[in-house]
């Protein structure tokens, strides 16, 4: 999937999203179900910041969807850590529905996992939902290396690399959306980790960057 050009600001409707990302009617219908369920569940479970709900198509859906074009072509496995309300992992799963990609969502909050499962059920997509803590050895051993690992608003980059390291293989790419502090997070992470990195401007926030990490390894002294 090619990356769209400059997005209309803001993307305020399904129609705006469809024009920007050139997706099928089925994908739009699935995303509309997702957004509707998000609004229904939000009063009971804090899935996203309340202030962002009026801008959900731009702040959450488009912000997540842009990651798909940054992944390797036809990824077989995609792991989303700390999925919360499903951004970006559930949007990725909807965007890649029918492409043969196994998307796994890891979230420790059972109520949020119930929400993710309900969205998957009503949209008809197939995702694996793991109710688990990322840092647990059992979780790491069960999942193994993947093609793509993502996380959004979960932790600073140094911590993200630590959490995601067990899921990196030789060709894995970590896709981590970051805000205006992306460069400083990269520098802080370099104190502990060696890694190949690329930063890509976000399409939804001109001050934000998406950090692509490959080949992370711990720095050893001596």
pLDDT value, residue 14: 95
Task: Please state the pTM of the whole predicted model.
Answer: 0.94
Q: Which tops the pLDDT comparison, 142 or 35?
A: 35
Over residues 57-67, the pLDDT tens digits come to: 999 999 999 99
CA distances, 135 to each of 96, 141, 143, 160, 165 (Å)? 27, 11, 12, 11, 10
Q: Are 53 and 42 in contact (CB under 8 A)?
A: yes
How confident is residue 43, by pLDDT bands cut at 50, 70 and 90?
A: very high
User: What is the percentage of the chain residues whose pLDDT exceeds 90?
Assistant: 86
Given a cut of 60, is residue 221 above it in pLDDT? Answer: no
Decide: helix, strand or coil at residue 95.
helix
Per-residue pLDDT for 121 more than 70? yes
Q: What is the pLDDT of residue 222?
A: 45
The Cα–Cα gap between 104 and 166 comes to 15
Taking the CB of residue 31, how many other CB atoms lie within 10 A of it?
Answer: 23
- Which of 88-102, 144-158, 208-222 has the lowest average pLDDT? 208-222
Which residues does residue 105 pair with via DSSP β-bridges, in sequence order?
A: 80, 129
Residue 10: predicted pLDDT: 85
Q: What is the CATH class of 14-177?
A: alpha beta
Task: Identify the CA nearest to 163 among candidates 149, 178, 142.
Answer: 149
């Amino acid at each position: 999937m090619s990356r769209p050009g400059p997005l209309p600001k803001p993307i305020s409707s399904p129609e705006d999203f469809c024009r920007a990302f050139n997706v099928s009617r089925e994908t739009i219908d699935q995303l509309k179900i997702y957004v509707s369920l998000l609004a229904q569940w939000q009063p009971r479970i804090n899935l996203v910041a309340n202030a962002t709900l009026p801008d959900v198509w731009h702040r959450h859906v488009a912000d997540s969807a842009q990651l798909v074009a940054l992944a390797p072509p036809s990824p077989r496995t995609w792991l989303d850590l700390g999925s919360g309300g499903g951004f970006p992992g559930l949007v990725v799963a909807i965007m890649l529905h029918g492409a043969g990609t196994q998307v796994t969502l890891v979230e420790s909050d059972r109520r949020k996992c119930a929400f993710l499962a309900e969205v998957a059920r009503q949209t008809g997509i197939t995702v694996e939902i793991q109710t688990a803590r990322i840092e647990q050895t059992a979780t790491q051993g069960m999942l193994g290396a993947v093609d793509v690992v993502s996380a959004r608003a979960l932790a600073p980059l140094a911590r993200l690399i630590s959490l995601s390291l067990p899921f990196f293989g030789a060709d894995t790419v970590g896709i981590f959306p970051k805000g205006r502090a992306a460069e400083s997070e990269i520098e802080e992470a370099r104190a502990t980790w060696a890694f190949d990195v690329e930063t890509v401007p976000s399409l939804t926030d001109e001050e934000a960057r998406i950090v692509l990490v490959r080949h992370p390894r711990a720095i050893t002294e001596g």
